[in-house]
Amino acid sequence: MTGDAGGYAQTTIEIEPAEAATGATKVVWTQQYGQVTVQVPPGAVDGVVIWAQSPAGPVAATLRIRTGEPTSAPPAGFAAQPGYPPQPGYPAQPGYPAQPGYPGQPGYPPAGPPPAKPARKGLLIGVGSAVAVVLIAGCCIGARLITTGDDKDTAKPSGGSGATTPTKSGPVTAAEYSAMLGSADTAIKADFAKLNTASAATLKTAAPAAAATMRGEAEKLLAITPPTAAQSANSDLADELKAWADSVEDAADAKAPCPAAGGPYPELLRSQFASDIRVAAKDLATADPTFKFGTFLPAAPKEQNRRLANGTYLKKPSKRGLGHLEIQNGAGDTTISLVPTNAKKATLTVYVRSKGKFTATGVADGNYRVFSAVGEDYDKAKKGFTRDCGFTKFDDTFKFTTTSTSSTIWRITLTPVKGGNASTSGVDPDDFPTD
């Protein structure tokens, strides 16, 4: 069960008594923030509230321990209350005081979320909240309308690797610390560079490997006591590396919202995590010019905004006819494709700019489906938008017919219009028709 209260999400986690005794890493799903990783510490008790962070905000997870036969001895340092036998895997009873690090007990609200750094969210833009379709054939005109919710991406959670914070060693010299930073940077660079690929097969192995290296080097930085001038930036750098490692690992299975972007690498470089690491590296260099880190991380690629002229044909009709398709676009540059119902490839595709109008002519008789792709920065070579993509199709088919006295003209309006009733559906980028 999940909820939202006061700027944070709430959820409940069920674990076995043995997991409560030894500690566990659990993954839960929240309606507001998506998947969240929660670290359950050893000796956790039923009803305790554990705080976890996601890129979208903090999550308060209430722990519930399943009852049953004991599977392990209670953790040392706790005693059952008189008259109440210990529960499997833990001896805490009602009224047992909260232990350090647990901000809430059963029946009491969470103590309040810890501060969290904002995560950069991508934006997936849909075609619009309503679409009107008009058929003009002689003097007969009809209209249809669709209302759809805007598509939003779900921000995935991020967090540490699950390892406990190591015990600090003695202080290191500036020269030793500089060498450690260089070694960490080189190690990460070797794996991180492999993420610059559009191959799903390569990402399957490259992303987990890069994430593991980032976590490992972060733990090394946390295990030492750096020079005084670098202590704050060192902690920030290590924390950001561990947090970003989760997003990097997720790239192995993430489906790119814009196939023309060529994989998740550009968005990883533009992420808030990458920006924070650049800041921490700059702070280290300010403290001491010999503290160099971050050569593995290229600058965030500049966002382009390439556009085609309104009415540019990406594919002209292969068969000429007398049918017309009048297009009135709403917000967002869009490509409109006509696909025969018995085929998978478009017979016509045209680019229409935001709030633009265009009439495609020469449509041959037949039944068609209408597909639309909206986004920003159109890469002509890759035939697609590279940012903020959305893919939809009209649920109804469009029939074009020519007689001795008339031919079909369909008019579609990709913006909210009163009085229509045509519906649309989202389309997986992999299923979008090609030209």
Sheet architecture: strand order including 8-15: 2-5, 8-15, 57-65, 49-54
pLDDT exceeds 70 at position 43: yes
Both tokens assigned to 16: 């076995």
Residues 293-315, mean pLDDT to the nearest whole number? 94
Q: Which H helix or E strand runs over 329?
A: strand 320-329
Residue listed under structure tokens 């556009």? 307
CATH numeric code, 1-113: 2.60.260.20
Residue 419: pLDDT band (50, 70, 90) is low
**pLDDT confidence of residue 11:** 85
Both tokens assigned to 414: 């990709």
pLDDT exceeds 70 at position 107: no
Closest CA to 89 of 105, 106, 65: 65
- What whole-number distance in Å separates Cα of residue 217 and Cα of residue 182? 11
* Pairing label, strands 409-414, 320-329: parallel
Residue 416: pLDDT band (50, 70, 90) is low
DSSP string covering 46-71: TT-EEEEEETTEEEEEEEEE--SS--
pLDDT exceeds 80 at position 180: yes
**pLDDT confidence of residue 153:** 41
Percent of residues, the chain, with pLDDT higher than 90: 44
Q: Are 344 and 218 in contact (CB under 8 A)?
A: no
**pLDDT confidence of residue 87:** 45
End-to-end CA distance of the chain: 45
Q: Which residues contact 240 (CB under 8 A, 6 or more apart)?
A: 273, 276, 277, 280
The three-class DSSP label of residue 330 is coil
Instruction: Give 231-269 pLDDT, tens digit per residue.
Output: 999 999 999 999 999 989 988 887 777 888 878 888 899
Indicate if the alpha-carbon torsion angle 218, 222, 224, 229 is positive or negative: positive
The residue type at 162: G
Instruction: Give 322-359 pLDDT, tens digit per residue.
Output: 999 999 998 899 999 999 999 989 999 999 999 999 99
- If one compares 420 and 294, the residue with the highest pLDDT of the two is 294
Both tokens assigned to 362: 């020469």
Q: Which residues contact 163 (CB under 8 A, 6 or more apart)?
A: 215, 219
The pair phi, psi for residue 400, each rounded to 5°, is -110, 125
Q: Are 214 and 242 in contact (CB under 8 A)?
A: yes
Q: Are 323 and 213 in contact (CB under 8 A)?
A: no
Closest CA to 208 of 189, 222, 195, 225: 195
Instruction: Give 204-237 pLDDT, tens digit per residue.
Output: 999 999 999 999 999 999 999 999 999 999 999 9
Instruction: Give 116-167 pLDDT, tens digit per residue.
Output: 444 433 333 333 334 555 555 433 323 333 323 344 343 344 443 344 444 5
